[in-house]
Amino acid sequence: MMWSPSATLSLFLLLLLLGHVPPSRLQSLGTKKLRLVGPGSKPEEGRLEVLHQGQWGTVCDDDFALQEATVACRQLGFQSALTWAHSAKYGQGEGPIWLDNVRCVGTESTLDQCGSNGWGVSDCSHSEDVGVVCHPQRQSGYLSEKVSNALGPQGQRLDEVRLKPILASTKRHSPVTEGAVEVRYEGHWRQVCDQGWTMNNSRVVCGMLGFPSQVPANSHYYRKVWNLKMKDPKSRLNSLASKNSFWIYRVNCLGTEPHLANCQVQVAPGRGKLQPACPGGMHAVVSCVPGPNFHPLKTKPQRKASRSEQELKVRLRSGAQVGEGRVEVLVNRQWGTVCDHGWNLISASVVCRQLGFGSAREALFGAQLGQGLGPIHLSEVRCRGYERILSDCLALEGSQNGCQHGNDAAVRCNIPDMGFQNQVRLAGGRSPEEGVVEVQVEVNGVLHWGTVCSDHWGLTEAMVACRQLGLGFANFAIKDTWYWQGTPEAREVVMSGVRCSGTELALQQCQRHGPVHCSHGTGRFSAGVACMNSAPDLVMNAQLVQETAYLEDRPLSLLYCAHEEKCLSESADHMDWPYGHRRLLRFSSQIYNLGRADFRPKTGRHSWIWHQCHRHYHSIEVFTHYDLLTINGSKVAEGHKASFCLEDTNCPTGLQRRYACANFGEQGVTVGCWDTYRHDIDCQWVDITDVGPGDYIFQVVVNPTNEVAESDFSNNMIRCRCKYDGQRVWLHNCHTGDSYRANTELSLEQEQRLRNNLI
């Protein structure tokens, strides 16, 4: 076979090129590749997944410990492991569970060198998917496997985009909604040429910056400003233009892209080139329209938080930050979830813009932000990107696709930079997630840092503070902070009487005193918080309450202990004990933890209260409220249940029970498990002895005082219609408190003129 000289030369050059390609360190060291996925915003933590036979799968948490996590982290390019997480803390995966009972010595270089049951041999479910937290320090030569924001053939990175305000009127507002587009490249902000700039380009930029829409900028006026400044040799603009500061020459977006890096981009010629970077043009100017909660002139958030939920028929639940959460939609007057089959950034961006945010930063799968309740309304959602609301997109009914709540979709949206995070800080804590709350406020026209008075300081206020800090949920609201040393120059109390509704973006938006008045003074009684990135979420089984309700006439001789614990109406105090009886509305309750962290009592065992009569400890003195209300919402009877035994009564197959009350054991409810209170135990009732026949509302509220932090308090209540004829009782239409649209309750009960008392 004869080779031509040109073919021989081409082959030689190809072999030479291949011989000089360095080995890629982005791949794992072994034959099996690992990755970390899940709701964590940090690249060093997440659910551990392994690629085997071309398919990604998870690892079971059975026998998994720190040495296994260390091997996995080293294989991923990190130096070591900090810890590991069981029970699908980072969300449940999909597909096969490739490894189970992994056993490493700790010296292995890859996870597939460790012992295990073998590939695909497992008795686990995805509720046992293991997660790892690696030390953020990477090994030499390893790079983060993040999605690349590369532009152009040379692969320059586009990391950040901002609007540089030009007009004086736009410089005074926060957030900045109008200005010249600038991109960050090699540590410097560079301009974008307006050649061929379109409104589609503006839409993408605005979406990245947290704005749902855009309007045309006054290009003629900006051109005049440009020309005037270019004539001034001392102007900064003239200097930048002469230095060829334009990095991007031309952008072509469809308008549906979640990031400017996804558009077609032509990079401007570098310095020293003969042709100008932006011939005859100027910097691209964009004008964005903020969502209703981010308007520059707003001083307080919209109190009507239900506007988006009612009119736009979509809401986010259980998110740790503003603009993130499980997606829920309103169909046939009932809230339900969206299945993650076919879920992507384009569909997620439609949800984000519908709610007044920008484009989607992440489209999350596998109930990574918690499981919902009720129907799964949608699956296989297919949006084109320009839909105004999610219901305009093509989709299947969730019931058609075999979806379960383990497949609930969620989003993280881009939100505007309001500058609130720079107006609060924590000081003196043992970790960055805790400390004395210090805020920046204006006093006599001057900005001052100071503390917050702990009068009225509670979990709702602490939740707002943690969200403002970007630290997720509040674990504790601390009123006595003597053990934390705050910043010396910020010891003065500058904010008191703080009362938040929970929807605020910052403490500065909450109601508070005008002149500061703190009954405790300064120092040890400054407000503090301890924040966390995940939280439990308790939800009651409404159907079980409805199915198990009945009446019992119980003799007083059997109610001494219940009377001592105040589980009977006051009229029982005046009866001739032990003669007579009380009429009790009894029922069973089942409380699920659908969140992303275990539900634990706020106090340790040393603080639990011993009740001699029932001979048990109360870890939470009032765990549940039971109320019977009239149709107009007036209370006619009540009951309560202390948490004498907060435990994992049952868990799904494959999930281990972790909490049991026997032998003074640890109390709590594991993620995915439930605690059951049977109808035949003391105080599991409402005393209705003094209640006459009629139509009522039966209401149950779990964690009623919000003593323990949760990711979502709106689903802690169930309500039922109750009919009592004097001898029998019927409960019907039992539902979680936030499962219906607010005015749907009105329409469902219109004949009795029911008022909406949803919390």
Architecture of the domain spanning 150-289: Roll (3.10)
The mean of the pLDDT values for the chain is: 82
Dist CA 678 CA 141 (whole Å): 59
User: What mean pLDDT is predicted for residues 387-402?
Assistant: 87
* pLDDT, tens only, 579-626: 999 999 999 999 999 888 899 988 877 778 777 776 777 778 778 899
Strand partners of residue 316: 327
Per-residue tokens: 289: 């329209």
Query: What are the φ/ψ torsions at residue 572 (nearest 5 degrees)?
Result: -65, -25
Judge whether residue 27 has pLDDT over 80.
no
Per-residue tokens: 606: 């040393």
Q: Give percent above pLDDT 90 in the chain.
A: 37
pLDDT score of 306: 42
pLDDT score of 331: 87
SS3 23: coil
Where does the pLDDT of residue 270 fall: very low under 50, low under 70, confident under 90, or very high at 90 and above?
Answer: low
Which stretch of 468-477, 480-489, 544-553, 686-695 has the lowest confidence by average pLDDT? 480-489
Dist CA 656 CA 678 (whole Å): 22
Rg, Å, the chain Cα set: 30
User: What mean pLDDT is predicted for residues 214-231?
Assistant: 85
Q: How many H-runs (helices) and E-runs (strands) does the chain carry?
A: 12, 41
Q: Are 87 and 672 in contact (CB under 8 A)?
A: yes
pLDDT score of 755: 32
DSSP for 72-134, please give it: HHHHTTBS-EEEEE-TTTT----S-EEE-S-B--S--SSGGGSB-S-TT-----GGGB-EEEE
pLDDT score of 325: 92
Domain boundaries, the chain: 33-134, 150-289, 306-413, 420-532, 538-752
Residue 149's CB is within 10 A of a number of other CB atoms, namely: 14
More confident residue, 425 or 739: 425
Judge whether residue 19 has pLDDT over 70.
no
pLDDT score of 2: 45
Where does the pLDDT of residue 237 fall: very low under 50, low under 70, confident under 90, or very high at 90 and above?
Answer: low
Judge whether residue 403 has pLDDT over 70.
yes
User: What mean pLDDT is predicted for residues 556-560?
Assistant: 92
* pLDDT, tens only, 448-463: 899 999 888 999 999 9
pLDDT score of 633: 87
pLDDT score of 423: 92
pLDDT score of 148: 38
pLDDT score of 387: 93
Judge whether residue 157 has pLDDT over 80.
no
SS3 597: coil
Where does the pLDDT of residue 740 fall: very low under 50, low under 70, confident under 90, or very high at 90 and above?
Answer: low
pLDDT score of 158: 63
Judge whether residue 334 has pLDDT over 90.
no
User: What mean pLDDT is predicted for residues 176-204?
Assistant: 88
SS3 422: helix
Q: Are 80 and 89 in contact (CB under 8 A)?
A: no
User: What mean pLDDT is predicted for residues 6-30?
Assistant: 38
Q: Residue 143: exposed, middle, or buried by beta-carbon count in 10 A (0-12, 13-18, 19+)? A: exposed
Where does the pLDDT of residue 86 fall: very low under 50, low under 70, confident under 90, or very high at 90 and above?
Answer: confident
673-697 burial: b if 16+ Cβ within 10 Å, else e: bbbebebeebbbbbbbbebeeeebb
Dist CA 343 CA 360 (whole Å): 12
Judge whether residue 321 has pLDDT over 80.
yes
* pLDDT, tens only, 352-372: 999 999 999 889 888 888 888
Q: What topology does CATH give the domain 420-532?
A: Mac-2 Binding Protein (3.10.250)
Architecture of the domain spanning 306-413: Roll (3.10)
Fold match between domain 33-134 and domain 150-289: yes
Judge whether residue 524 has pLDDT over 90.
no
User: What mean pLDDT is predicted for residues 452-478?
Assistant: 92
Name residues whose C-beta falls within 8 Å of residue 261's C-beta, 6 or more positions apart in sequence: 148, 149, 150, 151, 158
Q: Are 348 and 324 in contact (CB under 8 A)?
A: no
Q: Which CATH number fits domain 33-134: 3.30.56.10, 3.10.150.10, 3.40.190.10, 3.10.250.10?
A: 3.10.250.10
Judge whether residue 11 has pLDDT over 50.
no
SS3 525: coil
Judge whether residue 1 has pLDDT over 60.
no
pLDDT score of 41: 52
